[in-house]
């Protein structure tokens, strides 16, 4: 069987996507799948490379170019006719946010992972907070507003932030990822700068209560039968991780399973389960939490296409839970196919 792996993309997570794809392709090859690589360049061209049947040593080989042999612009008709299942190994905007998923739905292709709504809602920090709150999940207090609000009632919004939250605060664009556009601020002047910075990335903003806490993560796998991994913890070396620290320099150490009281770990898993259901997750997601020294738990976010490199939390959590990468990849493919078949079973009208 053949799998089309989509990777690269125009988001800030281009490089990590290539590393995820490299690891995913290795697992697929190990499971005796053939792979059609489709690379989305930083400029937004979609390039199809020649079929992969063997391990690739260097992930740089996945950076396809029209100058290479056997690389051509993608042919949508061919994609539709072949009907391979697609693994969108893309993170961040235009990958993890429902847009690619919508494109694949329109082409009527099976794909791995969350559907359109789950991807969009999981990506949007304001919508996901609203869904989490409906699901009674504990989260940090926050203030959300639009660029328009900020232009017209900046003073009121600052008062609202300062009245309901305590510095330090975290300012975030509603739709991004990889800490892009996110700032930690300690006073009003920094808050104003941070909002202006975040507005470069989105027209909707979240200002959130800052907290000193551990960051713990759970991997979720399944469609209706939902499986949860053990809890992992990021061993922190700084106040918050920026893109380079998190992904490029591999500065983040993981403690798996996290050294937590069993009832705390169970509660985190239960919250992860609820969060996944709240967004109507399918296939996979990683759910991230803050855990304070007195074991207060707050959900931070859900990632519907978490990093998938060999060092990434998601596959490593499963490894430590007893599912190796080969079985994990196999299960993700099967979940995608089953979801597709279920959808085919519904009447169009
Ligand atoms: N409210 C907060 N209190 C403390 N640290 C935070 C808070 N919000 C975010 N951070 C830090 O910033 C990082 C990135 O924020 P996050 O909301 O996870 O955005 P992204 O979608 O970019 O991963 C987190 O992993 C954490 O280290
Ligand atoms: Mg995060």
Q: Whose CA is nearest to atom 2 of ligand 1?
A: 210
The Å distance, Cα 219 to ligand 2 centre, comes to 13
Query: What number does the ligand 1 atom closest to the CA of 210 have?
Result: 3
The Å distance, Cα 50 to ligand 2 centre, comes to 34
- Which helix (H) or strand (E) element contains residue 214? strand 214-222
Query: What number does the ligand 1 atom closest to the CA of 211 have?
Result: 3
Q: Whose CA is nearest to atom 15 of ligand 1?
A: 179
* Structure-block tokens of residue 97: 């946010």
CA pair distance 283, 348, nearest whole angstrom: 23
pLDDT value for 242: 61
Ligand 1 cavity residues, CB under 6 Å = 140, 170, 172, 176-179, 182, 208-211, 215, 240-241, 288, 300-301
pLDDT value for 217: 98
pLDDT value for 93: 83
The Å distance, Cα 85 to ligand 1 centre, comes to 33
pLDDT value for 145: 98
The Å distance, Cα 66 to ligand 1 centre, comes to 38
- 341 Cβ partners below 8 Å, 6+ apart? none
pLDDT value for 76: 95
Paired sense of beta strands 204-209 and 169-173, if any: antiparallel
CA dist 308 to 44, 87, 115, 304, Å?
22, 12, 18, 11
The Å distance, Cα 155 to ligand 1 centre, comes to 25
Contact status, residue 231 vs residue 265, Cβ threshold 8 Å: yes
Residue 173: name the closest of 148, 147, 202, 210 by CA.
202
pLDDT value for 179: 77
The Å distance, Cα 274 to ligand 1 centre, comes to 20
CA pair distance 18, 39, nearest whole angstrom: 9
Q: Can you give the pLDDT of all 349 residues of the chain as single tens digits?
A: 999 999 999 888 899 999 999 999 999 999 999 999 999 999 999 999 999 999 999 999 999 999 999 999 999 999 999 999 999 999 988 888 999 999 999 999 999 999 999 999 999 999 999 999 999 999 999 999 999 999 999 999 999 999 999 999 999 999 876 777 899 999 999 999 999 999 999 999 999 999 999 999 999 999 999 999 999 999 876 655 565 555 555 557 899 999 999 999 999 999 999 999 999 999 999 999 999 999 999 999 999 999 999 889 999 999 999 999 999 999 999 999 999 999 988 876 6
pLDDT value for 252: 72
Query: What number does the ligand 1 atom closest to the CA of 209 have?
Result: 1
- What structural domains and CATH numbers belong to the chain? 2-112 (3.40.50.20), 123-137+212-342 (3.30.470.20), 142-209 (3.30.1490.20)
Q: Whose CA is nearest to atom 1 of ligand 1?
A: 210
- For ligand 1, mutation pick of 174, 179, 232 (most atoms within 8 Å of CB): 179
The Å distance, Cα 239 to ligand 1 centre, comes to 10
């Amino acid at each position: 069987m053949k799998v089309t792996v989509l990777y690269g993309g125009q988001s800030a997570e281009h490089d990590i996507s290539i590393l995820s794809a490299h690891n995913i392709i290795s697992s697929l090859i190990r499971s005796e799948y053939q792979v059609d690589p489709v690379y989305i360049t930083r400029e937004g061209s979609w390039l199809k490379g020649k079929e992969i049947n063997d391990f690739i040593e260097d992930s740089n080989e996945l950076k396809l170019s029209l100058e290479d042999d056997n690389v051509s612009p993608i042919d949508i008709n061919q994609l539709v006719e072949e009907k391979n299942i697609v693994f969108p190994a893309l993170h961040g905007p235009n990958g993890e946010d429902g847009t690619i998923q919508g494109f694949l739905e329109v082409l009527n292709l099976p794909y791995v992972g969350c559907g359109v709504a789950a991807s969009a809602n999981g990506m949007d920090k304001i919508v996901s907070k609203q869904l989490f709150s409906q699901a009674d999940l504990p989260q940090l207090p926050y203030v959300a507003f639009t660029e328009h609000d900020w232009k017209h009632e900046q003073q009121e919004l600052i008062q609202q932030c300062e009245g309901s939250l305590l510095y330090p605060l975290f300012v975030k664009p509603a739709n991004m990822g990889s800490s892009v556009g996110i700032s930690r601020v300690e006073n009003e002047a920094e808050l104003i700068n941070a909002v202006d910075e975040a507005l470069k990335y989105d027209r909707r903003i979240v200002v959130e209560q800052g907290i000193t806490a551990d960051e713990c993560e759970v991997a979720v796998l399944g469609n209706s039968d939902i499986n949860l991994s053990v809890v992992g913890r990021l061993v922190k070396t700084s106040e918050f991780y920026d893109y380079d620290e998190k992904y490029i320099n591999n500065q983040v150490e993981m403690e798996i399973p996290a050294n937590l009281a069993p009832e705390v770990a169970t509660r985190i898993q239960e919250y992860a389960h609820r969060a996944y259901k709240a967004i109507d997750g399918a296939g996979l997601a990683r759910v991230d939490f803050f855990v304070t020294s007195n074991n207060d738990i707050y959900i931070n976010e859900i990632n519907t296409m978490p990093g998938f490199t060999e060092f990434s939390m998601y596959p490593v959590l499963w490894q430590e839970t007893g599912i190796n990468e080969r079985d994990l990849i196999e299960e993700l493919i099967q979940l995608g196919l089953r979801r597709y078949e279920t959808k085919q079973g519904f009447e169009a009208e």
